[in-house]
Amino acid sequence: MIRTKNPLLPYFFVAPLVLLLLFVFGYPLVQIFDFSFRRIRGIDGPWVGLENYQLILNQPLFHEAVQHNVQLLIAVPIILILSLIIAVILYDRVPGWRIYRTIVFIPYILAVPIVAVVLKKFFQYDGPFNEALRVVGLDLFALDWMGSPDLALWTVLSVIIWREIVFCIVLMLARLLSLDEEMLEAAQLDGAGWWQRLWFIILPQMAGVIEFYFVVSFITMIAAVFSYIFMIGKGGPGTSTMVLELYIFNFLTRSSLPGVASAVSVMLFLVTTVLILILFWVRRGEREQELA
């Protein structure tokens, strides 16, 4: 271990990297905050105070976008429950588990734009999904999955779940593989059934990874679904799949109003920061409980 009498020396060593990080992350953040208070044309513009925020908050489309992001949060518990079940099944090494594990991971190695384009065609009104339904006589269920404003958001949601679930399964499986098998075997010898082992032994030990994924996927649904939305329907039909990221994109690249886009970005940043802080707070509380 290196010992030094000068307490500032370690800071000196890390300073270049800290400065680099500040430049890479800090500078754009400051710039975005600054932009959000200006009417930017190109890369500069006059100070307008809170006007951008007021305009956004008064626009019905913004509220629709927020509402759709909130609706997408339904995916979080669905993904968690499904992936937990699938991970436990794979962990139990049911016959053919190696093949199932490979199949389950396939969606995650496909790029989102490819997934979106393929599934968009799959769900078209005259696409393979509806054709299959018609062939088996289920014409009644051959709906306009992508073209109906009532259905489009739920179709996008199903595509998001289909792909994003894989990351959760990987996390769950990794945690399961690190569990103490002796405890599970002992429970089995004592007569605990599958459900009892899951509920009383496996789940309590997976609380940490579940909390982690909960926050990560929460942030994903609020601030990282753009590629799905843009590739599938660009917010349509109508405004039925408009989300905050697309709202930002439209103001930034189409309406050439980076100040407005920055104001929404700042709001999004603050929301996600609060979520991360909540996670840290919960985790710290748990750690303190464990130590006590």
Partner 1 sequence: MKHSRRLSRRDFLKTSAALGAGLTLSQSLPALARTRRQDDELVMWWWGEQELPGLQAWVDDTVAAYTGAKVSAMLQNTDVVISQFQTAAAANEAPDVQFLWNGIYHMESVWFGYLAPLNGLVDQAVLDRSGATRLSFYQGDQYRIGWYPLPMIWEYNKDVFDAAGLDADNPPKTWDALLDACDKIKTSGVDPIGGGVQDGFWGEWYLGHALAQSLDSPSEALDLFIGDLDFREPKYHEFWVRLEELKTSGFLNDSMSSLELYPGIDLVVTGQLGMSESIGTRVPADNDTLNGRVGVMTMPVFGTGALAGKPILDSQGLGISSQTEQKEQAAAFLEFMHAPEQLAKFWELTHWMPADSTWDSSVIDAPIVQQLWDGWVTSADSIPYIPNLMPAQFWTDAMFVASQEIIAGTMTGEAAGDLAARVVQEWRDFNPDLVENYQKWADDLR
What residues between 39 and 68 interact with partner 1 by CB under 8 A?
39, 41-44, 55, 59-61
User: Among residues 77, 149, 193, 208, which is the contact residue for partner 1, using CB under 8 A?
Assistant: 149
Tokens of 26: 């800090």
244 contacts 264 by C-beta, under 8 angstroms: yes
Q: Is the bond into 237 cis (omega within 30 degrees of 0)?
A: yes
Residue 55 or 133: which CB sits closer to partner 1? 55
Residue 234 lies near partner 1 (rule: CB under 8 A): yes
Residue 50: which residues within 8 A CB-CB, separation 6 or more? 37
User: Among residues 28, 128, 238, 285, which is the contact residue for partner 1, using CB under 8 A?
Assistant: 238
The one-letter amino acid code at 279 reads L
Residue 253 lies near partner 1 (rule: CB under 8 A): yes
3-class secondary structure, 73: coil
Alpha carbons 164 and 225: distance in angstroms, whole number: 10
Residue 140 lies near partner 1 (rule: CB under 8 A): no
Q: Count of alpha carbons within 13 Å of 85, Cβ hemisphere only?
A: 5
For residue 270, the minimal CB distance to partner 1 (Å) is 22
One character per residue 107-126, x = contact with partner 1 (rule: CB under 8 A): ----------------xxxx
Residue 215 or 260: which CB sits closer to partner 1? 260
Residue 144 lies near partner 1 (rule: CB under 8 A): yes
Residue 16 or 137: which CB sits closer to partner 1? 16
Residue 214 lies near partner 1 (rule: CB under 8 A): no
Short-list 7, 36, 23, 17, CA closest to 269: 36
For residue 67, the minimal CB distance to partner 1 (Å) is 15
Q: How many residues bind partner 1 (CB under 8 A)?
A: 42
What residues between 14 and 43 interact with partner 1 by CB under 8 A?
16-17, 20, 23, 39, 41-43
Q: Supply the DSSP string of 268-283, one letter for each residue.
A: HHHHHHHHHHHHHHHH
- Of 11-19, 108-116, 205-213, 215-223, the segment contacting partner 1 by CB under 8 A is 11-19
Residue 133 or 209: which CB sits closer to partner 1? 133
For residue 115, the minimal CB distance to partner 1 (Å) is 17
For residue 166, the minimal CB distance to partner 1 (Å) is 26
Alpha carbons 292 and 289: distance in angstroms, whole number: 5
Alpha carbons 264 and 20: distance in angstroms, whole number: 26
- Residue 254, phi-psi category: left (phi > 0), alpha (psi -120 to 50), beta (remainder): alpha
Residue 221 lies near partner 1 (rule: CB under 8 A): no
Give 124: exposed, middle or buried? Use CB within 10 Å, 0-12, 13-18, 19+.
Answer: middle
Tokens of 23: 């430049």
Residue 141 lies near partner 1 (rule: CB under 8 A): no
Element (H, E) at 15: helix 9-21
The residues of the shown chain that bind partner 1, judged by CB under 8 A, are 2, 13, 16-17, 20, 23, 39, 41-44, 55, 59-61, 123-127, 144-150, 233-239, 250, 252-257, 260
